[in-house]
Amino acid sequence: MNYYRPSQQQKTAGLIRYSCGILFILFTFCYLFFLQGEILAEAQHVYSKGVTTYNLLIGAIITTTVLQAIQRVVVILSRLPSRWHALSYLPSFLLLAILTSADRETIQHFSFGVWMWLLPLSLVAYCAIVIMLKKLSDASSKESTDIKTQVYPNFIVLFLLILGTGSIPQSSDVFHYELKAERLILHKDYAAALKVGERSLRATPRLTQLRMYALSQQGQLAELLFHYPQYYGSQGLLDVTDTMSTYRVSPRHICQHLGAYAGSTVHSTQRYYQLVLADSLWNQHTADYYLCSLLLDRQLSTFRRELPRYYNLSDTLPHAYDQLPKAYREALLLAGERKAAMQGVLVVNADTLARFSHQPLVADFCAYNQLKAQLKDENERVNKLHREFGNTYWWYYEYGAQAKGEIAQQPLYHVKAKE
């Protein structure tokens, strides 16, 4: 009997120590690798000024190891009773929360935010709790050998620490989309970058620019332009005035893709297009960026005039208009007389400019107009048309600036059409 109780206590203490350690390592690694690794990658890029690169797997392993080592030091210093062993992980969880609670603003300005006063206060409170628990443990010198009374408090404390760390206000999901898309683009995995946040209606100018750049790299910009939320007009394509040097994929990358860098004297994106297209430096990507910017700014007349400069629409080329990218064909149907367009004929100022033989496109345009005519309530019309035709230029041109309900999760960009 004299040897049974200490042996049982040692077994219980070992079970608590190893089970808590395994749970902590699993949570920390998964949290860093799957959820918060992009934040650390961005922070390292900014603070090293682009000299070093963060690897998600290696970074998660190293950070988890360091936090586990800190816990071991805390165990040695605190000598907490086995019943409260999980509290030795609190400093590690605090550091994990600090590492992953940053957003772009705090990263750019190297700010600890509320942690400047919250961390010291938390550590003081933690020390007071440890001292109190040790005194209570010394007062009741006989520690229970019941495994339930030893293990359950530790699991409850560990669960609360995990819950608290995960629920601390984090950066927005859109910011994570930006960082992940940026990393995938750097790895030239453009298809994967386009899938980031694809089910979300939320977007930022930065995320939209990254998506459009990935589409352009795949030669799909004008084809799939309106398959993604467009809230920012032509600024969602390129903003040459955005000079944030900490971007891993900056406007300079996009300009290089388009054929020429924007000089310091270029103060607008439209001026940049004019200068590049007037030179021999432009390529098809440049032309599509320019034409898509006109569509996004609802400049249909200018778009119709400029289109033949960059696409061969000669009568000698069979089905030239049917071979245009999807966004251009949809825009041309809006640019002409509506009744003629529903017959697949582009008529402008009583002149027949083209005939579309692609019947599915014409059928969709007819269905769009019929559904629009059937819906009398404005809110219902906007939302139902979005569900059916939200990936078309027709919906964007007519309703993109007045979306309601679930669609209007971001301020919508609106530029008055210049006809």
Could you read off the pLDDT of 221-242 as tens digits, one per residue?
999 999 999 999 999 999 998 8
Instruction: Indicate if the pLDDT at residue 187 is higher than 80.
Output: yes
Instruction: Map residue 351 onto helix, strand or coil.
Output: strand
Answer whether residue 414 shows pLDDT above 50. no
HSE-up of 18 (CA within 13 Å, CB side)? 6
**Distances in whole angstroms, Cα of residue 44 to Cα of each of 31, 66, 81, 215:** 18, 17, 38, 27
Average pLDDT, the chain: 87
Please say if the pLDDT value at position 410 is more than 90: no
Q: What is the pTM of this model?
A: 0.85
Q: What is the mean predicted confidence (pLDDT) over 334-361?
A: 88
pLDDT band for position 195 (50/70/90)? very high
Mean pLDDT of 168-178: 85
Q: Point out which residues pair with 258 in neighbouring strands.
A: none
Q: Give the pLDDT band (50/70/90) at residue 415.
A: very low
Say what the pLDDT of residue 139 is: 57
Q: Which residues pair with 352 in a beta bridge?
A: 347
pLDDT value at 293 more than 80: yes
Whether the predicted pLDDT of 159 surpasses 90: yes
**pLDDT score at 147:** 73
Q: Which pLDDT value is given to residue 412? A: 37
* pLDDT score for 263: 82
pLDDT exceeds cutoff 50 at 342:
yes
At 353, is the secondary structure helix, strand, or coil? strand
Cα 35 to chain centroid distance, Å, stands at 12
Distance CA 294, CA 288 (A): 10
User: CB within 8 A of 117, min separation 6: which ones?
Assistant: none
Amino acid at residue number 186: L
Q: From the CB of residue 280, how many other CB atoms can be counted at a distance below 10 Å?
A: 7
pLDDT bracket for residue 138 (50, 70, 90) = low
Q: Mean pLDDT, to the nearest integer, of 151-158?
A: 92
Q: For residue 141, is pLDDT > 60?
A: no
Whole-angstrom CA distances from 112 to 99, 105, 171 are 10, 11, 14
pLDDT(411) > 90: no
- State residue 146's pLDDT score: 67
- Percentage above 70 pLDDT, the chain: 91
Report which of residues 112 and 307 the model is more confident about.
Answer: 307
402 pLDDT above the threshold of 80: no
- Contact status, residue 94 vs residue 122, Cβ threshold 8 Å: yes
318-331: average pLDDT: 92
Distance between CA atoms of 358 and 217, rounded to whole angstroms? 26
Specify the higher pLDDT residue, 404 or 264: 264
* pLDDT tens digits, 25-71: 999 999 999 999 999 999 888 888 888 889 999 999 999 999 999 99
Residue 347: beta bridge partners?
352
Q: Which of 20-34, 162-176, 204-218, 277-291 has the lowest mean pLDDT?
A: 162-176
Helical spans, DSSP H, in 263-348: 269-277, 284-296, 300-310, 326-335, 338-341
DSSP symbols for 126-167: HHHHHHHHHHHHHHS-S----HHHHHHHHHHHHHHHHHHHHH
3-state helix, strand, coil in the chain (%, to 5): 65, 0, 30
Query: Is the pLDDT reported for residue 407 higher than 60?
Result: no
**Tokens matching residue 51:** 């000299």
pLDDT tens for 265-288 read 888 999 999 999 998 888 999 999
